[in-house]
Amino acid sequence: MIALEDRHLAELASLLKEKVGLHVRPDSYHALRMAIRARIEERGEAAQGTIDAYLARLREDASGDELRALLPLVTVGKTNFFRDSRQFAALEALVPDLLQRRRKGGAPIAIWSAGCATGEEPYSIAMTAAEHGVLAEEIDLAATDLNPQAVAASSEGRYTARRVQEMEPGRIERFFQPDGSGYKVRPELRRMVGRIQPQNLNAPVYPRPQTGSWDIIFCRNVIIYFDTATARQVLSRFHAVLAPGGFLFLGYSESLFRLFDGFQLTEIAGAFVYRKPAKPLTPAVPRAPEPAPFYTPSAPVQHLSAPRAKPAAGPAPQPERSPQEILDASVTLVETGKFEAAVEQLERLVAQGGEDLAARLTLANLYGVLRQPERARESYQAALALEPLSAEAHLFFGIHLLGVGELDGAANELGRALYLDPDLALGHYYLGRCRERQRDPARARICYRNAVDAYRREPKGRRQSFLAYYPDVPEDGAAIARAAEYALAAL
Ligand SMILES: C[S@@+](CC[C@H](N)C(=O)[O-])C[C@H]1O[C@@H](n2cnc3c(N)ncnc32)[C@H](O)[C@@H]1O
């Protein structure tokens, strides 16, 4: 085992803060410990115990490649039991039909928690199933993660008292047993999570249940760390291993909008989840309200290719609108010049306490457009508190700071965005503008060249689709590359 001292973790925490703006508090150092061990083992350096050398390399690596490889592992600490209770209400709504299918001689309920972190998610799924009378042999529940240390922790099922006490006492008593100063999952609950194993979602082969395809895949708060090309590959593999009519649960702030259109957005018990159509979608049939094999949603199914900027219906009042629908309605309001009304809607959405990154970023941008820089700053900061590793949030915060003349802050934020995603042509371009205003033409020139190169690497402008809506920022990759070329010529 690698000897990791607190000073190593403090050094890594300070590096993460400096390079990508991630603030890791000392009480979350266990996540850093797990990440660094997993990464060093992955690199085959465990025997050398060269933690100081590794940290030095991390600091000196100008490309940022090593830090980027470490980042997904660092996110392992961001999880908790029954995270997003609405999604667990949706799961509760699905379980009875799946159980009935099984008890009529059909396949066991097949659920995969992909990116399970330290196990809170799969055990929450298992508890939900058990509360509906599902027995261990009636469910094929798998949990996987990239980080082998997280997988080992999931398998062990040992948690601090603080973590467990977020749940109702009845649940703790039924599913956990005291273990030193914390708790351990009871063997019956552990048995319900059959497979717990390492799995890189970037690998081409995905696990399958005994019966061939999953009824439900949970992959929450994972794809947000992938670039668009990787996210698309991952989503198409999920699509392949999901049963027709099966469900994909993504994180609250993750959207497939303009990313992947093989799924339909469906409301179940107040949560919005993605569903693989029971029959393949064809371009001639934009809506496919096929009968579900085991569950028929009460809400109308919405086809994902309906563009966010132009929702089919206007912002007509509806009893319960999804965050996405509220965002769509706000975008329509902005497009018709009703900025204040859009802000009002988004403020209400954010006040509901949702972890909605897209809403916070859209709101931040609108405050900027409305010349309310302090509100914009607060809103960007709130977005970054939600997702500290969102390149998009750093990028647009940087653009905002540049707009209000805070050049050093802008350079920091734009640098962080580019550290997280070096292919952001928009980030290179704005950093170039920032360097020009800092009277540093040599660095400005490099940034503009990087913008053109980033565009050439991805001529189709893969970053045209941001999570949020920015009416004042050009999203067209070709236009950004052209602007960078003009700027270069003028320097
Ligand atoms: C923020 S946690 C999410 C945990 C849980 N799904 C939740 O929402 O509470 C992200 C997890 O994704 C895992 N992860 C990141 N990249 C991955 C990859 N390429 N393959 C599999 N897991 C990955 C990380 O190790 C981490 O445990």
Residue 382's closest CA among 255, 253, 271, 285?
A: 253
Of the listed ranges 42-46, 75-79, 481-485, the one predicted with least confidence:
42-46
The pTM is what?
0.75
Closest residue by Cα to residue 291 from 299, 279, 281:
279
How many angstroms separate the CA atoms of 462 and 229, rounded? 8
Which residue is closest in CA terms to ligand 1's atom 3? Answer: 221
The CA distance from 219 to 437, in Å, is: 42
| Angle (nearest 5°) at CA 467 between 80 and 473 | 145
- Note the pLDDT of residue 441: 94
Q: Are 401 and 409 in contact (CB under 8 A)?
A: yes
Name the closest-CA residue to atom 7, ligand 1: 79
pLDDT over 60 (residue 298): no
- The predicted structure's pLDDT at residue 184: 97
How many CB atoms lie under 10 A from the CB of residue 452?
20
Which amino acid, 347?
E
Minimum CA distance residue for ligand 1 atom 2: 76
Give Cα 148 distance to the centre of its chain. Answer: 20
DSSP H or E run through 273: strand 271-275
The separation between the first and the last C-alpha atoms of the chain, rounded to the nearest angstrom, is 54
> What gap in Å lies between CA 137 and CA 134, rounded to an integer?
8
Q: Which amino acid is at 217?
A: I
Pocket lining for ligand 1, CB < 6 angstroms: 72-73, 75-76, 78-79, 83, 115, 117, 121, 145-147, 150, 199-202, 220-222, 225, 251
3-state SS, residue 344? helix
Q: SS3 for 171?
A: helix
User: For residues 380 and 400, is the Cβ–Cβ distance under 8 A?
Assistant: yes
Q: Using DSSP, state whether 371 is helix, strand or coil.
A: coil
* Cβ 262 vs Cβ 236: under 8 Å: yes
> pLDDT class for 465, splitting at 50, 70, 90?
low
| CA–CA gap between residue 136 and residue 71 (Å, rounded) | 35
- The count of other CB atoms within 10 Å of the CB of residue 424 is 25
Q: Got the DSSP string for 178-226?
A: EETTEEEE-HHHHHHEEEEEE--TTSS-----TTSSEEEEEE-SSGGGS
Question: Residue 180: how many CB atoms within 10 A of its CB?
Answer: 9
Backbone angles phi, psi at 265, to 5 degrees: -85, 130
Of the listed ranges 101-110, 170-179, 221-230, 439-448, the least confidently predicted one is: 221-230
- Which amino acid residue places its CA nearest to atom 8 of ligand 1? 220
- Residue with the larger pLDDT of the pair 35 and 47: 35
Spacing, Cα 15 to ligand 1 middle (Å): 21
| 277 backbone dihedrals φ, ψ, rounded to 5° | -60, 150
CA gap 138, 447 in Å, rounded: 57
281, 290 contact by CB (below 8 A): no
DSSP β-ladder status, 242-250 and 139-145? unpaired
d(CA 434, CA 317): 43
User: How far, in Å, is the centroid of ligand 1 from the Cα of 116?
Assistant: 6
Atom of ligand 1 nearest to the CA of 219: 6
- Tell me the average pLDDT of the chain: 85
pLDDT at 249 over 50: yes
Return d(Cα 228, Cα 206) in angstroms, integer. 19
Identify the band that residue 307 occupies on the pLDDT scale cut at 50, 70 and 90.
very low
Residue found under tokens 């261990």:
136
CB neighbourhood size of 198 (10 A): 15
CA-proximal residue: ligand 1, atom 16 (nearest): 72
Q: 280's torsion region: left (phi>0), alpha (psi -120 to 50) or beta? A: beta
Instruction: Name the residue among 165, 175, 168, 97 with its Cα closest to residue 136.
Output: 175
Q: Are 81 and 120 in contact (CB under 8 A)?
A: yes
Average pLDDT of the residues in 412-421: 91
Phi/psi-derived region of residue 290, left when phi > 0, alpha when psi is between -120 and 50, beta in every other case: beta
The more confidently predicted of residues 219 and 419 is 219
Pocket test for ligand 1, best of 28, 145, 196 (most atoms within 8 A of CB): 145
**pLDDT score of 226:** 80
Q: Is a pLDDT exceeding 50 seen at residue 203? A: yes
Ligand 1: which of 28, 75, 389, 390 to mutate, judged by most atoms within 8 Å of the beta carbon? 75
The residue with greater pLDDT, 48 or 121, is 121
Gyration radius (Cα) of the chain, Å: 23
Mean pLDDT is lowest, of 99-108, 259-268, 287-296, for 287-296
Tokens of 417: 């965005």
Q: Could you tell me the distance, in angstroms and rounded to a whole number, from the CA of residue 115 to the centre of ligand 1?
A: 4
Mutate to test the pocket of ligand 1, among 34, 146, 216 (most ligand atoms within 8 A of CB): 146
Which strands, in side-by-side order, build the sheet including 271-275?
193-198, 139-145, 109-114, 214-219, 242-250, 271-275, 264-268, 302-303
Q: What is the pLDDT of residues 4-18, one digit of tens each?
A: 888 999 999 999 988
CA angle 165, 167, 171 (to 5 degrees): 110
- From the list 377, 362, 361, the residue with the least C-alpha distance to 331 is 362
Q: Six-digit token pair at 12? A: 């890594």
79 CA closest ligand 1 atom index: 9
Main-chain dihedrals φ then ψ at residue 179, nearest 5 degrees = -145, 100
Tokens 């470490």 belong to 70
